[in-house]
């Protein structure tokens, strides 16, 4: 008779991220709870279950597996062994002995009915995938709206939800790592929304939570994201030394050596930090290094959803634009702005609004009033009235026009336009 693998058990172990050795240890622990004796299983026994060579474990092992998994034998691809009825005793036991036997059986039954395993459901990869889908939705919302308190609050709440799931059941070490990484990812999104909204005290609070969770997860990609965000936060706060120190932590993680795309992002953000410090030579060198690393990166490599969703040539040009604006190199800034806008993906609404606002300021810096006002008027009205960074940049453009060209038709046009914007927010 042919041996058929137990695909159901294999699928469940994959979902739980359990190796054969790890499952053997869990079942041995449950057997010890049921009988007081170690189960004696090793990884070879579990492989025999998986392969179908053992169609059904011994009854105590199967009961232990049910306790560990929270599933029935049938749900795990097994059938219980049928017991042969024991022969009737030749004579009735003495009352005291019978009472002891009944009490012992009741104690064993109670232990089997309410072991520690039964109170703790198993958490698997499927649960993590549900969290990751919700994380993708947060990332998408951030790219559309950006900087909003609702995004920050939603992301922070989801981080707490991931931690509650962590505490609600048992899981393999790998699944626990995934859960901590998910909680850290949500916190880092809350941190970024606060940075984008200029709520820096809140961002620092989210950063500290995220760093702790990321350390427990062991996930270098999310550690990179958090420290890289920290560098950006300190850059916006005009603290270039702290920004460089934080971004250096991200740039020295091993993931930047494994994947040049992470290295590229680290160098591009460092270029913007050099620019805040006024170092043109270091800025250009970092941008060149970022571009070279991006060209070496495999475009089809498996990367986290947040990385795939935003970092590409357009984002590199956006960071170059930001850097050259800090250095008052307005012609170079404008060139990178046009390149960024030409390559931005359709879902990058927030980035398009920010880049268009910077383009207007770069054109104004070169004295090109008409192109500057035209560009500024292309910023979508919702971003122009609600996104903190965009509102701030457009206010700067208006004040510069009133200061340097107050009687020009371009200044009057912009004044009239901003009045209409205020009318839409009432």
pLDDT in tens, 216-239: 888 999 999 999 999 999 999 999
Range(s) of the domain holding residue 222: 123-234
Q: Are 1 and 84 in contact (CB under 8 A)?
A: no
Count the Cβ atoms, other than its own, within 10 Å of residue 60. Answer: 16
Q: Is residue 126 exposed (0-12), middle (13-18) or buried (19+ Cβ within 10 Å)?
A: exposed
Is residue 284's pLDDT more than 90?
Answer: yes
First to last CA, the chain: 79
Q: Please name the residues in contact with 12: beta carbons below 8 A apart, sequence gap of 6 or more.
A: 69, 71, 76, 124
Identify whether residues 133 and 224 lie together within a single domain: yes
Is residue 192's pLDDT more than 50?
Answer: yes
What's the pLDDT score for residue 96? 45
Phi, psi of 298 (to 5 degrees): -75, 115
Better-scored residue on pLDDT, 377 or 151: 377
Q: How many angstroms separate the CA atoms of 24 and 26, rounded?
A: 5
The set of long-range contacts for 335-343, using a CB threshold of 8 Å and a minimum separation of 24, is 337/362, 339/313, 339/314, 340/314, 340/315, 341/314, 342/314, 343/312, 343/313, 343/314, 343/317
pLDDT > 90 in the chain, percent: 47
Identify whether residues 127 and 230 lie together within a single domain: yes
Q: Which of 133-137, 177-181, 303-307, 374-378 has the lowest mean pLDDT?
A: 133-137
Q: How many angstroms separate the CA atoms of 126 and 14, rounded?
A: 10
Identify whether residues 127 and 66 lie together within a single domain: no
What's the pLDDT score for residue 179? 87
Q: How many angstroms separate the CA atoms of 8 and 75, rounded?
A: 7
Tokens 């270098």 sit at which residue? 220
End residue of a domain, out of 234, 249, 267 = 234
Q: Which of 37-51, 110-124, 249-263 has the lowest mean pLDDT?
A: 110-124
User: Residue 399 domain-assigned?
Assistant: no
Q: How many angstroms separate the CA atoms of 293 and 290, rounded?
A: 5
User: Residue 163 domain-assigned?
Assistant: yes
What's the pLDDT score for residue 80? 67
Identify whether residues 129 and 228 lie together within a single domain: yes
> Distances in Å between the alpha carbon of 94 and those of 91, 97, 152, 181?
9, 5, 71, 61
User: Residue 152 domain-assigned?
Assistant: yes
User: Residue 223 domain-assigned?
Assistant: yes
Q: Which of 35-44, 152-161, 193-202, 359-368 has the lowest mean pLDDT?
A: 35-44
What's the pLDDT score for residue 414? 94
- Once rounded to an integer, what is the mean pLDDT over residues 231-249? 95
Q: How many angstroms separate the CA atoms of 78 and 54, rounded?
A: 10
Of 222, 147, 220, 150, the closest CA to residue 184 belongs to 222
Average pLDDT over all residues of the chain:
83
- Once rounded to an integer, what is the mean pLDDT over residues 267-293? 97
Identify whether residues 46 and 149 lie together within a single domain: no
User: Residue 240 domain-assigned?
Assistant: no
Q: Kindly report, residue by residue over 323-375, the tens digit of the pLDDT.
A: 999 999 999 999 999 999 999 998 888 899 999 999 999 999 999 999 999 99
Better-scored residue on pLDDT, 124 or 396: 396
User: Residue 51 domain-assigned?
Assistant: yes
Is residue 258's pLDDT more than 70?
Answer: yes
What's the pLDDT score for residue 166? 78
Identify whether residues 140 and 53 lie together within a single domain: no
Of 410, 409, 408, 398, the closest CA to residue 374 belongs to 410
Identify whether residues 129 and 213 lie together within a single domain: yes
Q: How many angstroms separate the CA atoms of 393 and 75, rounded?
A: 60
Identify whether residues 224 and 128 lie together within a single domain: yes
Tokens linked to 360 = 């207007």
- Once rounded to an integer, what is the mean pLDDT over residues 241-255? 96
User: Residue 210 domain-assigned?
Assistant: yes
Number of domains comprising the chain: 2
What's the pLDDT score for residue 313? 96
Identify whether residues 223 and 140 lie together within a single domain: yes
What's the pLDDT score for residue 263? 97
Is residue 293's pLDDT more than 90?
Answer: yes
User: Residue 104 domain-assigned?
Assistant: no
């Amino acid at each position: 008779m042919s041996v058929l693998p137990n695909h159901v058990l294999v699928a469940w172990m994959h979902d739980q991220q359990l190796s054969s050795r790890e499952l053997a240890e869990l079942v041995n622990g449950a057997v010890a709870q049921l009988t007081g004796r170690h189960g004696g299983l090793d990884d070879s026994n579990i492989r025999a279950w998986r392969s179908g060579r053992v169609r059904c474990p011994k009854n105590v092992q199967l009961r232990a597996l049910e306790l560990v998994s929270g599933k029935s034998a049938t749900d795990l691809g097994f059938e219980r062994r049928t017991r042969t009825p024991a022969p009737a005793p030749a004579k009735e036991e003495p009352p005291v002995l019978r009472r002891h036997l009944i009490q012992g059986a009741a104690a064993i039954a109670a232990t089997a009915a309410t072991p520690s395993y039964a109170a703790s459901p198993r958490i698997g990869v499927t649960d993590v995938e549900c969290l990751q889908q919700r994380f993708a939705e947060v990332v998408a919302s951030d790219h559309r709206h950006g900087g909003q308190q609702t995004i920050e609050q939603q992301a922070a709440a989801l981080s707490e939800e991931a931690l509650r799931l962590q505490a609600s059941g048992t899981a393999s070490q790998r699944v626990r790592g995934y859960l901590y990484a998910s909680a850290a990812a949500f916190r880092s999104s809350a941190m970024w929304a606060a940075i984008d909204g200029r709520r820096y005290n809140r961002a620092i609070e989210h950063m500290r939570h995220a760093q702790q969770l990321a350390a427990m997860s062991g996930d270098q990609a999310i550690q990179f994201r958090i420290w890289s965000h920290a560098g950006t936060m300190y850059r916006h706060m005009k603290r270039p030394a702290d920004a460089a120190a934080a971004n250096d932590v991200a740039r020295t993680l091993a993931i930047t050596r494994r994947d040049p795309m992470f290295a590229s992002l680290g160098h591009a953000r460092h270029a913007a930090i050099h620019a805040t410090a006024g170092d043109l030579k270091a800025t250009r060198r970092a941008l060149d290094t970022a571009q070279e690393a991006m060209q070496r990166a495999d475009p089809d490599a498996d990367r986290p959803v947040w990385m795939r969703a935003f970092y590409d040539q357009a984002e590199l040009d956006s960071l170059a634009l930001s850097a050259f604006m800090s250095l008052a190199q307005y012609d170079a800034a404008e060139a990178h702005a046009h390149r960024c806008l030409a390559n931005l993906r359709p879902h990058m609404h927030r980035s398009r609004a920010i880049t268009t606002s910077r383009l207007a300021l770069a054109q104004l810096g070169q004295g090109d009033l008409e192109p500057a006002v035209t560009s500024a008027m292309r910023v979508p009205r919702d971003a122009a009235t609600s996104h903190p960074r965009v509102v701030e940049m457009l206010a700067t453009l208006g004040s510069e026009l009133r200061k340097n060209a107050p009687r020009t038709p371009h200044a009057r046009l912009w004044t009239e336009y901003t009045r209409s914007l205020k009318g839409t927010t009432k």
